[in-house]
Chains A and B, each alone.
Chain A
Amino acid sequence: MQRDLGSLPLAPALRARLVAAGFQTVQELLETGPCGLSKEIGISKEEALEALQVVRQECHGDAARTAGGSGATRKCTALELLEEEQAQGFIITFCSALDNILGGGVQLTKITEICGAPGVGKTQLCMQLAVDVQIPECFGGVAGEAVFIDTEGSFMVDRVVDIATACVQHCQLIAEAHQEEDNLKALETFSLESILSHIYYFRCRDYTELLAQVYLLPDFLSEHSKVRLVVVDGIAFPFRHDFEDLSLRTRLLNGLAQQLIIVANDHKSALQEGKEHSSTFRLGSAIGLAAESVPSLLP
């Protein structure tokens, strides 16, 4: 494969040495082998072996994809995507006006951002959604679990208890009105305890914890594969103060954004962000253009 070395995820120092020694494409590297490589560029045999492994992995990934192998999980035609989208459920918010403008509810595999001035109800809506995602399928829900990442400490468990109790009662009323088998069976597992036990709560006090939590999310989600909603309440909060280096802030926010998009896409979950506003009249986002470009839906 005539792939240029610069396009592979190698360590910068290693790449500099390879270029200085005259290696340009992947093929030259693979032909040399680990012993020749360690002699040519002056690194230990283990490092040479590691580097060659990385290179081989990338190239085999390419080859598998060209041959139409199963590595191509993120590649499909628009028609297949359309069918996937049409089969996807929504997380209803129990407010029909809001559901209408969102096109049915909060979409899965997308990031939805809620912004508003302090006190307008963002955390309340997030808590409502954490309960709504668990509604069983026979009642029109997605029967999933929720992850709640809290940076402001505004998550009130007693309020969630109120919301959950109301939701269970609502479903009971529907079940009584329709008297169907599935509804009654589902209601047996849909109770206050089960709702609360399926909301995984994380408290992050500063931006490092938030970043760490988001980067660890994929592992968590692969263990808890029923999670369908990730809420980050207050994504702007840890980044607003004490940040002298603004370009670092932009980089971190963008990296965070990409990681969240990966989580939403790969694990078929919806992501919610509550974002705080500066209390001036201008209703722009507190962080500006860099962070605004993340979400694909903005209610």
Chain B
Amino acid sequence: MVVLRAGLCPGLTEEMIQLLRANDIRTVVDFVSSDLEDVAQKCSLSYKVLVAVRRVLLAQFSAFPANGADLYEELKSSTAILPTGSPSLDQLLDSGLYTGEVTELMGAPGSGKTQVCLGIAGSVSLGLKQHVLFLDSTGGFTASRLYQMLRAQAEDEEEQAALQRIQVVRVFDVYEMLSALQELRDRLSQQVVSSAGPFKIVVIDSVSAVIYPLLGGKQSEGLAIMMQLARELKTLAREFSLAVVVTNQVTRDSSTGPLKPALGRSWSFVPSTRVLLESKEAAWEKATTQRVASLAKSPRQPTGIQVELDIG
């Protein structure tokens, strides 16, 4: 729904636009879907010029079909699989986090989502030496814990470098989160062709904290913003070959019902993989670092498989 403007393509002049507007043709869609002979007559414009303009507009604004074999080749060359730092979780995710996709970790408070996110950030930064963008919306990012995790795996010099590759942005509002993602997009598009660009993974902890205050009630604004965020995440993942990891809360329908992911049915279409984290026993009775991760949605593995995870 782009508005017709002078200079949008060669041959589209200001007088043409005024004439078209007088006949109710204001956007590219209106122009392209109208009968050009009719328009040429009503606006007294040359038919050839109109056809040329339409060709250019279609070339500029339409999506081109690609064939499956090309897509497959492209995927093979651009997709990377990032290790999460935990072998059992890697096994659950079919060897790791795939770039170009959104993966979701969901769980009750205290189930270990932030710990797993820290582990992922640490492993990508230390093991693969790639940059990580961590968007923290809950204030739960603890650098000392990350340092502890890295110490357990590496020598002294490497940890400092690894910590420097992890960029942390604190966003407590959905508009700030969208600004941060826009900024990432600008930075990545300025990097010319290099596929080993600065960032390979974006971790967002958590998405529900910024969306929950907006959902529900009579206005549908919350839903609109949530879908805007969803679109931004998916296009970022696809266009720049990033792996996007988000965390989400869980809710229940009633106090005894089963756990289900928060943010509703609309959000459930966004991530391609969903992992549910749970504690093995009630958290307060025994202090335990054992968690159970089960696969709730996946394009590659059968759902329902469970593995044990140690977040200690």
Residues of A at the B interface (CB closer than 8 Å) are: 1, 3-4, 6-9, 12, 19, 21-24, 28, 31, 58, 61-62, 65-66, 74-79, 81-82, 84-86, 109-111, 247-248, 250-251, 254-255, 257-258, 261-262, 264-265, 283, 288-290, 292-293, 296, 298
Cα A141 to Cα B213 with chains together (Å): 36
Cα A248 to Cα B183 with chains together (Å): 33
- B196 in contact (CB, < 8 A): no
Partner of B3, one of A28, A78, A81, A298: A28
Partner of B164, one of A78, A262, A293: A78
Residues of B at the A interface (CB closer than 8 Å) are: 1-3, 5, 26-27, 108-110, 121, 134, 137-144, 146-147, 160, 163-173, 175, 178-180, 182-183, 186-187, 209-210, 212-217, 219, 221, 224-225, 228, 232, 249-252, 255, 284
Excluding A110-B139, A293-B249, 10 further A-B contacts by CB distance (< 8 Å) are A58-B175, A62-B182, A74-B171, A76-B167, A77-B165, A78-B134, A111-B139, A258-B172, A290-B251, A298-B110
Closest chain B residue, CB of each to CB of A86: B144
Across the interface, do A28 and B2 meet the contact criterion of CB distance under 8 Å? yes
Closest chain A residue, CB of each to CB of B171: A74
Residues of B within 8 A of A250 (CB): 212, 216
Closest chain B residue, CB of each to CB of A292: B109
Q: Smallest distance from the beta carbon of B308 to chain A beta carbons, Å? A: 23
Across the interface, do B210 and A78 meet the contact criterion of CB distance under 8 Å? no
In the complex with contacts A19-B1, A82-B143, A74-B186 CB distance below 8 A:
no
Closest chain A residue, CB of each to CB of B178: A7
Cα A247 to Cα B213 with chains together (Å): 10
Across the interface, do B27 and A77 meet the contact criterion of CB distance under 8 Å? no
Q: Smallest distance from the beta carbon of A54 to chain B beta carbons, Å? A: 10
Cα A281 to Cα B251 with chains together (Å): 22
Across the interface, do B172 and A77 meet the contact criterion of CB distance under 8 Å? no
Q: Smallest distance from the beta carbon of A270 to chain B beta carbons, Å? A: 11
Across the interface, do A31 and B5 meet the contact criterion of CB distance under 8 Å? yes
Quick one: which of B147, B172, B214 has the most chain A CB within 10 A? B172
